[in-house]
Amino acid sequence: MKRIIGGLLLLLLSHLALGQVERGNILIRGGTVLTVTNGTLEGTDILVKDGKITQIGKNLTIQAGIKVIEADGMYVMPGIIDAHSHIGIDALNEATNPVTAEVFTGDALNPFQIGLYRALGGGVTTIHAMHGSANAIGGQCETIKLRYGVKDPEALRMAGAPRTIKFALGENPTRIHGSWNSIVPRTRMGVEFVIREALSKGKEYNEEWGVYNKLKNQKGFRGKAPEYSARLETLGDILNGNIIIHCHSYRADEIYMLLKVCQDFGIKKLVFQHVNEGFKVAPELANFGAMASVFADRWAYKFEVYYSTAYNAAILTKNGVTTSINSDDPELMRHLYHEAAKAEKYGALSDDEALALITLNPAKQLGIESRVGSIEVGKEADIAIFNGHPLSSYAIPMITIVDGIIRFDRDKDPDDVRIYVDPNQELDVSFKESGYDNVDNCMKDALQSFADFFETN
């Protein structure tokens, strides 16, 4: 018996150790610090203790046992945050029903993906690992930190980050469900109905449980609990304000539709993703307090993004919408700093406004702005160091730090960074990924399974 308890305890302890996040101590000396919230500080030091920024100033004292990074001539900015990505997970589209609020990308985390390291090589430290866009209401998403090197999926999670869920409007849900499977939605009318119906059921579910929870402790109550549903519970949590909606959308009409739906259901936490035509309803977005996470310049890969403009981020920002620039792509993700700079070309945003597009603003959209997104005392030490100004297209990310731990160092970049090597992998086979055409990354699993089914491409 003792041995069993001991064994259980050991198991528990090892589990705790596995899930634990490694935090470091570092002094970054003499860099040009782009704080995002407090302007640019020349020749400034940043002291990091136990994974947090504890001091920012000039000529801080070097303390014993703390690693020093000489950043003279370098640019130091907050780690880049990608509010729309699909790396670090092994599944992303539960394309079996127009509503799948019960599934969760956080159940499919994969810390071995090489993409995590490559993103670090672009100064990225936090990403929103999203469900795909096959369903009008897709799955819940996980906010993760790029702690590449850990082997435990749990260690990727940004513990305490708010819950988020993917919604999707337009061509993707109507194509998957309506055109291919002949179930609602086939049109944008159907998408609205599917969402209203789901939220209404979530509301009823909340009410039924509310009544039950109120009555169950009363003496003599003989009623039975309502049937549990993970899907309806999640929808109910959205209505309770516990989950942020991140909605895949392109056209102005469908964006406006969801604003009205959310208004009717009293939902306030709403971020539109892609939102290529967000610029057309910027006053409405601003008025609602909805946020927008856009591409810098992707367009024309499908009809609903034909009437786009690279000035989208600037128009939204100038209309008062909290805007971020995302990648939705493992390659684009590596140069979000360059994508942000495009908002200076297309619409003349300032340096600070452009940097906020990939730091503070995506942090706000994920509800983590009190922890990351700027260089401030008390924030988590997620930091990217560049050899030039990050808004220059010649700038190279040199060091990327997550929780005070160096996770990427260009000078020590090994030839092969894989943590896990598949023994069956045929090294000698050339392997050209045709990633270039996969602009609609949101549809990955859905299109693949469909292609398998019909043996088409």
Partner 1 sequence: MAKRIQSTIIIITVLLCAFVFALEAQNPKGKYGTFVLKNGTVQTVTRGVIQNGSVVIVNGKITAVGTNLSIPAEAEEIDCTGQWIFPGMIDSGTRLGLTEVRSDSRTTDFNEIGDIIPQMKALTAINPNSVLIPVTRINGVTTVLAAPEGDLIPGTAALINLYGYTPDQMFGGFEGLVLNFPKAGREGLADRRSEEDVKKAYDKAIARLNEVWDMAVQYHLLDSATKSKGVKYYPEMQAMMAVLRGERSVMVEANAAKDIQAALQWISARKVKKVILTGVSEGWRVAAEIKKAGIPVIVGPVLSLPDREYDRYDRAYSNPGLLKKAGVKVALRTKHAENVRNLPYHAAFAAAYGLGKEEALRSVTIVPAEIFGVADRLGSIEVGKNATLFVCDGDPFETRTAINLVFIDGWNVPMVSRQTQLYEEFLNREPGLSKK
Q: Which two tokens stand for residue 383?
A: 């930091």
Interface with partner 1, residue 114, by CB under 8 A: yes
**Among 203, 311, 352, 450, which residue sits at the site for partner 1 (rule: CB under 8 A)?**
311
Quick check: 272 binds partner 1 (CB under 8 A)? no
Residue 382: alpha-carbon gap to chain centroid: 15
The Cα angle at residue 352 between residues 350 and 354, in degrees rounded to 5: 70
Q: At what angle do helices 252-264 and 188-215 cross, to 10 degrees?
A: 20
Cα atoms in the Cβ-side hemisphere of radius 13 Å centred on 16: 6
- Single residue of 228, 394, 453, 454 touching partner 1 by CB under 8 A: 394
* By CB under 8 A, residue 297 contacts partner 1: yes
| Among positions 287, 289, 370, 377, the unique one binding partner 1 when judged by CB under 8 A | 287
- In the sheet that holds 137-145, the strands lie side by side as 80-85, 124-129, 137-145, 163-168, 243-249, 270-274, 291-294, 323-325
Q: Read off the amino acid at residue 369.
A: E
Q: Smallest distance from the beta carbon of 306 to partner 1, in angstroms?
A: 5
Candidates 430, 453, 454, 455: give the one binding partner 1 (CB under 8 A).
430
Query: What's the min distance (Å) between Cβ of 243 and partner 1?
Result: 28
Q: For partner 1, give the closer residue by CB, 4 or 429.
A: 429
CB of 412 to partner 1, least distance (A): 12
Q: Which of 144, 133, 337, 333 is nearest to 249 (CA)?
A: 133
SS3 198: helix
Closer residue to partner 1 in complex, CB, 182/430:
430
Q: How far is the CB of 305 from partner 1 (least distance, A)?
A: 8
Structure tokens at 363: 């942090």
Does position 180 interact with partner 1 (CB under 8 A)? The reply is: no
Number of residues that bind partner 1 (CB under 8 A): 65
Answer for the pair 123, 79: CB distance below 8 angstroms, yes or no: yes
Q: Considering the complex, what minimum distance in angstroms separates the CB of residue 133 from partner 1?
A: 14
**Distance in angstroms (rounded) separating the CA atoms of residues 284 and 254:** 12
Residues 79 to 108 in contact with partner 1, rule: CB under 8 A: none
Report angle CA 326, 332, 336 to the nearest 5 degrees: 55
* Footprint of partner 1 on 395-414 (CB under 8 A): 395-396, 413
Residues between 116 and 145 with contacts to partner 1, criterion CB under 8 A: 117-118, 121
Q: Which residues are within 8 A (CB) of 244 and not within 5 positions of it... i.e. 6 or more apart?
A: 162, 163, 164, 165, 269, 270, 271, 365, 366, 367
Smallest gap from Cβ 114 to partner 1, in A, equals 5
Phi then psi for residue 137, to 5 deg, are: -120, 105
10 forms part of the interface with partner 1 (CB under 8 A): no
Contacting residue, 97, 155, 279, 379, with partner 1 by CB under 8 A: 279
Stretch that binds partner 1, among 43-51, 56-64, 84-92, 278-286 (CB under 8 A): 278-286
Which residue stretches of 164-229 are H helix? 171-173, 181, 188-215
Task: Say if residues 404 and 381 touch (Cβ distance below 8 Å).
Answer: yes
Tokens 């090994």 label which residue? 414
CB of 79 to partner 1, least distance (A): 17
Q: Identify which of residues 236 and 390 has a Cβ nearer to partner 1 in the complex.
A: 390
Strands annotated E in 255-303: 270-274, 291-294
Contact residue for partner 1 among 439, 442, 445, 446 (CB under 8 A) = 439
Single out the residue of 19, 318, 376, 409 in contact with partner 1 (rule: CB under 8 A).
318
**Residue range at the interface with partner 1 (CB under 8 A); choices 35-43, 46-54, 100-108, 421-429:** 421-429
The pattern of x and - marking residues 333 through 372 that bind partner 1 according to CB under 8 A reads -xx--x--xx-xxxx-------------------------
Q: Can you point out the beta strands (E) in 192-253? A: 243-249
Work out how close the CB of 112 gets to partner 1 at its nearest, in angstroms, rounded to a whole number: 10
The alpha carbon torsion through 329, 331, 337, 339 (nearest 10 deg) reads -60
Judged by the rule CB under 8 A, the positions of this chain that interact with partner 1 are 114, 117-118, 121, 279-280, 282-284, 287, 297-303, 306-311, 314-315, 318, 330-332, 334-335, 338, 341-342, 344-347, 391-396, 413, 415-418, 421, 426-427, 429-437, 439-440, 448, 451
